[in-house]
Amino acid sequence: MSSIIQLLPDHVANQIAAGEVVQRPASVVKELMENAIDAGATDIKLICKDAGKTLIQVIDNGKGMSVTDARLCFERHATSKIRKAEDLFDLHTKGFRGEALASIAAIAHVELKTKQDQEELGTHIIIEGSKFTQQEPAVLPKGTSFAVKNLFFNIPARRNFLKSDTVELKHIIDEFQKVAMAHANIHFTLYHNGSELFNLPQSNLRQRIVNIFSGKTNEKLVPVKENTEIVTIDGFIGKPEFAKKNRGEQFFFVNDRFIKSGYLHHAILSAYEGLLKEGTQPSYFLYLNVPPHTIDINIHPTKTEIKFDDEQALYAILRSTVKHSLGQFNVAPVLDFDRDATLDTPYDFKGKEATYPTIQIDSTFNPFAEEKKSDAKTSGSNFSFQPRKEAQPHWESLYVGLKDTFESQEMQFESDVVTSSLFTDAEVEQPKTVTYQIHKKYIVSPIKSGMLIIDQQRAHQRVLYEQFLTNITVHQANSQQLLFPLTLYFSGNEMALLLELIPSLENTGFVFDEINSDSLVISGLPVTISESEASIVLEQLVADLQDEIPESSFSQMDSMAKSMAKSLAVKTGTYLTEKEQENLVNNLFGCKENSVSPFQKPTFITLSIEDIDKKFSV
């Protein structure tokens, strides 16, 4: 019987490895930027076209590669970082497995230009699907330039799975920000389709965070610093009042490498216990430095998850450090709850001697004189405080004609009765529809066959959803002008998403005066949104669309209408008057689809008389 197990060809093995390493254009960005950092670069440029599908180019001023290294770096498991297995537990660099460049070259057209500082000429290499098509010396500046073109050109199925340019660009920006935040001492620049999106000069950690997440971020940050034998913690956390509904601004860096850790995230949440509103998430940018031999970073293909030797100790240290910073900067309440700050001695009075109060006496004061005056005023007025009115002469004339007036009014009153007799006695006035609210959650309304039990929150979501969807598509929304324009600040990533939604938002009734790189100036709002709700609605909208931006324009409108309806709908636990209950019921049954909410949950149930009778049958 012949053997059935065979060795895979190199180009097939590289394509399989690419499935782990290169999931989308953002994966290429991450690998190339980390290689540039490992090369000691101080200036890194990232250039993208069509969200990385057409071109991803990373240019650095690092140490470059020799001719041999430039050719060898595209081989599988070729690396300069490790020599033996023990080196995996003493890593100080980003890449180390030697699979990234081989995987990228297997599924794209790659052009490499590199030159070392001491060499006169550099090396120019072109690869198409793992095949070297050209290698020649060239006159180049110091450093390395990697250009990855036509990603997944030989794997059409993988290319078809890529999302829209907006979604893929968002992922590229996410990876760019993670690398840039971990290395504030490097100048990073990002260009997309010829436009500069980010220009981050060398700075400290706080400035780098502010440059990425807009200028208003500075006032939200609380510094965190702790130094122990197990870990050194540095970075910033956000004040509780600036907590957001989404988890977009939460970053852990371990030895300058971005990681995800639900366990450490729980430590942060426990430190914020009692300080956050329900459903909100705190912001944090925390940099942890631990000895390399105490972590294993080789447990995940993308190296975003690592294993710690002593997670419990790290949890306790992180939790207490964050809690201490919140209390130290008066963000969290201190133990002395009864302390009155007004009793503190001002700095201006330090060292001054106390002054004794002086006593002043009014020798002319006579309390009895005042009392006599008041007695004189009140004497003789014990029985009447109002002046007596003079008697009117000919008082009988006041009643002349009064009888005629009464008779005329009586005649008018009888005519009204006659008018009402036009209605037939057979016509009976319809009973008024009565609704009741139960536990500030459900509205009960009687019907002929029994009763309706309506979920007030889901019903209002359905009403608002159809209103917003109609306004967006028909372009007939009304706006209420604000007396003072409202300025809202967002991060660069959030602004990129909002720019896509501006036309749809304007159709719902928003009026924008200015649209800047990190803020929106709003001069008009939809009539259903109050000024205090504007920021809540837009933040919720960004949070809902943050993960996956809809592909088509209609699905984008649909998602936006759902998000705004969810934000503005009356919540469970809200008291409604009889008029509000009646309006909600009438509006619900005026909807095209009134049986389910926009999220496909039932809005009401019907309880028939038979169902009620069964409950009482024994």
Indicate the fold that domain 10-200 takes in CATH: Heat Shock Protein 90 (3.30.565)
- Contacts (Cβ under 8 Å, ≥6 apart) of 141: 61, 115
Per-residue confidence (pLDDT) for residue 432, from 0 to 100: 57
What's the rounded Cα separation, in Å, for the pair 213 and 236? 13
CA distances from 371 to 365, 366, 367, 368, 384 (A): 12, 9, 7, 5, 21
> Do residues 205 and 213 lie in contact, with contact meaning Cβ atoms separated by under 8 Å?
no
CB neighbourhood size of 574 (10 A): 14
- Report the CATH superfamily, name and number, of domain 442-606: MutL, C-terminal domain, regulatory subdomain (3.30.1370.100)
Per-residue confidence (pLDDT) for residue 421, from 0 to 100: 45
Range(s) within the chain of domains with CATH label 3.30.230.10? 208-328
Range(s) within the chain of domains with CATH label 3.30.1370.100? 442-606
pLDDT digits 0-9 by tens, 131-165: 888 899 999 999 999 999 999 888 888 888 888 78
Q: What is the dihedral of CA 31, 36, 40, 42, to 10 degrees?
A: -130
**Pairing state of beta strands 511-515 and 450-455?**
unpaired
Q: Give SS3 for 61.
A: coil
What are the residue ranges in the chain where pLDDT is below 70? 1-2, 10-20, 77-98, 215, 298-303, 330-351, 370-433, 475-476, 546-554, 618
CA distances from 185 to 37, 117, 257 (A): 11, 21, 15
**Pairing state of beta strands 511-515 and 519-526?**
antiparallel
With residue 224 as reference, give the H or E element that holds it.
strand 221-227
Nearest to 510 by CA among 479, 487, 541: 479
pLDDT digits 0-9 by tens, 216-253: 788 889 999 999 888 899 999 998 888 887 777 889 99
Nearest to 141 by CA among 112, 120, 156: 120
Per-residue confidence (pLDDT) for residue 571, from 0 to 100: 86
pLDDT digits 0-9 by tens, 475-503: 667 788 888 888 888 877 778 778 878 88
CA distances from 326 to 58, 220, 468 (A): 40, 12, 41
Has domain 208-328 been given CATH number 3.90.1150.10?
no
Range(s) within the chain of domains with CATH label 3.30.565.10? 10-200
Nearest to 272 by CA among 338, 217, 321, 223: 321
* Radius of gyration (C-alpha) of the chain in whole angstroms: 38
Kindly report the three-state secondary structure assignment for every residue of 442-482.
EEEEEECCEEEEEEHHHHHHHHHHHHHHHHHHHCCCCEEEE
Nearest to 211 by CA among 181, 191, 166, 190: 181
Encoded tokens for 589: 């049954």
Terminal alpha carbon distance of the chain: 76
Per-residue confidence (pLDDT) for residue 350, from 0 to 100: 65
Per-residue confidence (pLDDT) for residue 468, from 0 to 100: 84
- Type of residue numbered 420: S
